[in-house]
Amino acid sequence: MQLSELAIRSTPIPGLLVVDLPVHGDSRGWFKENWQREKMIAAGLPDLGPVQNNVSFNQAVGVTRGIHAEPWNKFVSVATGKVFGAWVDLRQGPAFGTAFWCEITPEVAVYVPRGVGNAFQTVEAPAAYSYLVDAHWTETAQSEYTFLNLADETAAVPWPIPLERAELSAKDLAHPRLAEVTPVAPRRTLVVGANGQVGRALMERWASRGDVDGVGREQLEIADPDSVADFDFSPYGTIVNAAAYTAVDLAETPEGRRSAWATNAFGAQRLAQAAREQRAVLVHFSSDYVYDGTIAEHTERESVAPLGVYGQTKAAGDALVATWQDHYIVRTSWVVGEGKNFVRTMASLAERGVDPAVVDDQIGRLTFADDLAAVTEHLLRVRPEPGVYHLSTEGEPLSWAGIARNVFAATGHDPERVSATSTAEFYAAQERAEGDGTISPRPRSSVLDLSRIRATGFAPRDQIVALRAYLGL
């Protein structure tokens, strides 16, 4: 048995990878690590996360099976014997119909992505053909198979043993030619919380795509375990969680506390579990409220230290999302989207001649929902290292009063009409006016370090430029 080094080789079919396996042998026989997650991921193999191991034992030379494209990724190898493997890309896209073949021995394995047709022919028997898959077989899954005829003239697979002399099943003989095959569509994208500020921005950005579904609370209420259990996540390879409980002050009340935990923490956990089961990438939005605001500029490496219930539930949700390896947590601050918000309120006050007193001791930068949609698309396209990424506008940090003055100035009004007040004074006045004692503590500094997201190639917009664009100026 010849020894080799672990190596990953690409092929003409995107995502189809040939794996050279180290095999260690002596007079007694041989040993190999057929699946070694840590080493293989380090070498460049996707993290398969197998949940089922199947073995096809083939007693005779010439046994031929395929060509089958299945709704999961798989890792094929042989324990003994030798097979001639053939693969045809049956996925929708420019590589549709591309073929590749090679021999599989104990020293060679192949990673086969979802939607790529797989076939093999035994050339040295007996052959024990093994394949790890990342989803369980079900009758529903079997209905999603796509097939191609072994003798398809376009693929033109050079079978070592001519098919007329090979052993095939009647089903495999009846599969269609390539011209009759419906390409395997990409897995779909699900936007959860599609009716919120960020959800609406995402749906607008992806309006021209035919593979995006948006759901509101009526279709999927992540705070409700039964709603999540009844929802079919199987079509989705990407889940974007734009759902959140954001009533910061009400989260300090008994009822609000329960709702905040149910949505922001345990709802996020349920989506992480759904993403794990479907091997889907999960994008989740976090908040500057996970920080206590005592550090002038927060980095992603900073330990969270939330001051109030809202921040506590968001921090818990972040930790639960991070239990699934293929995740992006976009941590943001002072979000502005469509609907009622601080910027619109200040513009309205300026127009109506109202001179507001605005908090001047909380410092940060605005984040516009359109930019959160743009960075989500960027992360899903570039696929940098999973983890937490900060996103806000950039430029000089401002207080809420400073932002209000910029809104007044941008809309043609005197910015000096905006007076400054402290957080304590503002909420004391609000409590006197409304008789409501449910006030949550706020971080004094919400300034986010943006170097990590910049390193991925995404350029945040300047705060004032983005503000003027939002106001239509």
pLDDT-above-90 percentage for the chain: 88
DSSP strand pairing (363-364 vs 398-399): antiparallel
pLDDT-above-70 percentage for the chain: 97
pLDDT score recorded for residue 425:
86
Q: What 3-state DSSP class applies to 369?
A: helix
Strand partners, 37: none
Query: pLDDT confidence of 438, banded at 50, 70, 90?
Result: confident
* Domains of the chain from N-terminus onward: 7-180 (2.60.120.10), 188-470 (3.40.50.720)
Q: Tens digit of pLDDT for each residue in 392-437?
A: 999 999 999 999 999 999 999 999 999 999 988 887 766 655 555 6
131 is known as an active-site residue: yes
pLDDT score recorded for residue 4:
62
Q: Tens digit of pLDDT for each residue in 199-244?
A: 999 999 999 999 999 999 999 999 999 999 999 998 999 999 999 9
Among residues 384, 471, 420, 380, which one has the least CA distance to residue 190? Answer: 380
If one compares 434 and 306, the residue with the highest pLDDT of the two is 306
Q: Tens digit of pLDDT for each residue in 127-144?
A: 999 999 998 887 777 778
Q: Classify the C-alpha dihedral 205-207-210-216 as positive or negative.
A: positive
Q: What is the CA radius of gyration of the chain?
A: 28
Residue 111: is it exposed, middle or buried by C-beta count within 10 angstroms (0-12/13-18/19+)? Answer: buried
Please compute the mean of the pLDDT values over residues 19-37 and round it to a whole number: 91
Least confident of 25-29, 117-121, 271-275: 25-29
Residue 300 reports pLDDT greater than 80: yes
Residue 91 reports pLDDT greater than 90: yes
User: How does DSSP assign 288-337, residue by residue?
Assistant: GGGS-S-SSSB-TTSPP---SHHHHHHHHHHHHHTTSSSEEEEEE-SEE-
> 447 is written with which tokens?
């300034």
pLDDT score recorded for residue 136:
86
Query: pLDDT confidence of 49, banded at 50, 70, 90?
Result: confident
Residue 1 reports pLDDT greater than 90: no
Among residues 217, 237, 240, which one has the least CA distance to residue 227? Answer: 217
Among residues 322, 218, 290, which one has the least CA distance to residue 441? Answer: 290
The catalytic residue among 129, 131, 310, 427 is 131
Residue 256 reports pLDDT greater than 90: yes
Please compute the mean of the pLDDT values over residues 286-310 and round it to a whole number: 97
Please tell me whether the peptide bond between 12 and the residue prior to it is cis, using omega within 30 degrees of 0: no
- As a whole number, the mean pLDDT across the chain is 94
> 22 is written with which tokens?
């180290």
CB 89 within 8 A of CB 13: yes
pLDDT score recorded for residue 375:
98
The DSSP letter of residue 394 is B
CA distance readout (Å), 462 to 42, 270, 368, 458: 38, 36, 11, 13
The three-point CA angle 291-271-251 to 5° equals 45
The three-point CA angle 348-350-354 to 5° equals 95
CB 401 within 8 A of CB 346: no
pLDDT score recorded for residue 5:
82
236 is known as an active-site residue: no
Instruction: Kindly give the residue spans of alpha helices, DSSP state H, lying in 7-147.
Output: 37-43, 139-142
pLDDT score recorded for residue 193:
97
pLDDT score recorded for residue 437:
61
The catalytic residue among 68, 378, 390, 413 is 68
pLDDT score recorded for residue 339:
84
Q: Classify the C-alpha dihedral 65-71-76-79 as positive or negative.
A: negative
pLDDT score recorded for residue 144:
81
pTM of the model: 0.87
Instruction: Please report where in the chains the tokens 């992006």 appear, as a residue.
Output: 328
